[in-house]
Structure 1
Amino acid sequence: MGIKVLLVDDHLMVLKGLRFFLGTQPDIEMVGEASNGQEAIDLVEQLKPDVILMDLTMPVMDGIEATKRIKIDYADVKIIVLTSFSDQDHVVPALQAGADGYQLKDIEPDELVKSIKAVYSGETHLHPTATSQLLNHVNTGTKTNEAEKSFNQLTAREKDVLREITLGRNNKEISSELFITEKTVKTHVSNILSKLGLHDRTQAAILAMKNKWYDA
């Protein structure tokens, strides 16, 4: 059985094209389609997808709100935003909502498959343009030496947790990897964001990657 994928897009031709290509992939199993965010939420419990390809601009409920709601109840479901928008006003809110990946619709089909597999494996997979927008957002007004100073304020365990965040792992996965409770993970994450002066874990991951705090 392959990676179970749910498609969410309000354009029939996009759905048709994705369905046709992904349906030819031996490692991917197409389990359903939705034309808006509310339909996606309704189908998650029924279909139990591993990965969702989520459009952003849709009627009834947009992809950002749907991503946020799905991640609250189904943290293990991976969500890749697949959109035409690459500006900061779309990239940042989508990742803050909990998206595990961000790709543009002009992506090469083979690259999309790689992205699905990477996100399914626990990685955060972003289009280069999306990464650039995030770096601009995170580092506005922040000098590298200031970031280093903040990083050095983290305890050894907080640095361990930040490394796991950078790898795209959620609290449950970090808890299992580091042999600590989820409550302890949440406390560490809160301390990390406070010390780094950030608002969310996506910003923390991007800042860590930009400053190369961890080996690739």
Structure 2
Amino acid sequence: MTSETPIRVVVVDDHPMMREGMRALVASLPDIEIVGEAGDGEAARREAQLAHPDVIVMDLHMPGVNGVEATRSILRAAPATRILVLTMFEDDESVFAAMRAGACGYLVKGAQQDEIVRAIRSVAAGHAIFGPTVARRIIGFFAGGDRSTSASAPFPELTGREREVLDLIAGGHSNAVIGRRLVISPKTVSNHISAIFAKLQVADRAEAIVRARQAGLGRRP
């Protein structure tokens, strides 16, 4: 990509007004062009294959395939594509789910227009970019250490994500709620639960809840 070549952007959001707003935002910018748009994660994957964008501006919570699953799938097929998340959600679970999937930028909707434009240019240039509140969450997380992988964490045979799922199961949450909390698909939740049952050698959800609560999981509000 040279200075004369515009940054090719695909916008993914299930709200048409947001997509229209992005088109209007970059319409007068000579160095950025919208080459595609999508309203869900499945359409995003198709647009990524057709348009070969430099940057995808990705919402997270969408019907069908969500933004985290779409990010993971797109980057498997096209690892050079840069994903900039632009979403309403700034909770730890959404932020770190997107980062684990491979997003290199994360802004919260409501960011100033010039901030969004700078973020697109930055991720296209290979940099990571995060909004101020998201950056504070990341700094706080690493300053406190990743407890999910500590040697003293319960059930060391589980991955960090499996432990998160088990914690939510122990808290009495349904698969649908777990999927929304962790920004993953219902099928992915079911796959994690199957892996948990196998690793813990439990027969069903009730037995898993007993084991988890005995280990101190499921007690957070």
Alignment TM class, shorter chain as reference = 0.5 to 0.7
Q: How does 1:100-139 map to 2 (within 5 A)?
A: 100-139=104-143
2:76 corresponds, among 67, 72, 77, to 72
Structure 1 residue runs of 4+, over 3 Å off? none
Q: For 2:49 and 2:16, locate their aligned partners in 1 and report how far apart those are by CA, in whole Å.
A: 23
**Letter of the 1:126 counterpart:** F
How far apart, in 2, do the equivalents of 1:6 and 1:26 lie? 16
For 1:20, the equivalent position in structure 2 comes to 24
Whether 1:6 aligns to 2:32 is no
2:40 to 16, 36, 61: 36
**1:82 equivalent in structure 2:** 86
What is the deviation of 1:141? 4.7
| 1:95-144 deviation line (CA, Å, top 9, x unaligned) | 111001001111111111111111111100011111111222223257xx
Distance 1:80 1:63 in 2: 11
TM-score, normalised with respect to structure 1: 0.64
1:29 match: secondary structure = strand
Q: Distance in 1 between matches of 2:28 and 2:104?
A: 24
The count of aligned residue pairs is 142
Q: Does 1:52 align with 2:46?
A: no
Name the SS of the counterpart of 2:35 in structure 1: strand
Question: Percent identical across equivalent pairs?
Answer: 39
How much has 1:40 moved relative to structure 2? 0.5
Q: Which runs of 5+ in 1 are unaligned?
A: 143-216
Pairs within 5 Å for 1:134-213? 134-141=138-145
Q: Tell me, in whole angstroms, the C-alpha distance in 2 between the residues paired with 1:43 and 1:49.
A: 8
**Unaligned regions of 5+ residues in structure 2, if any?**
147-221
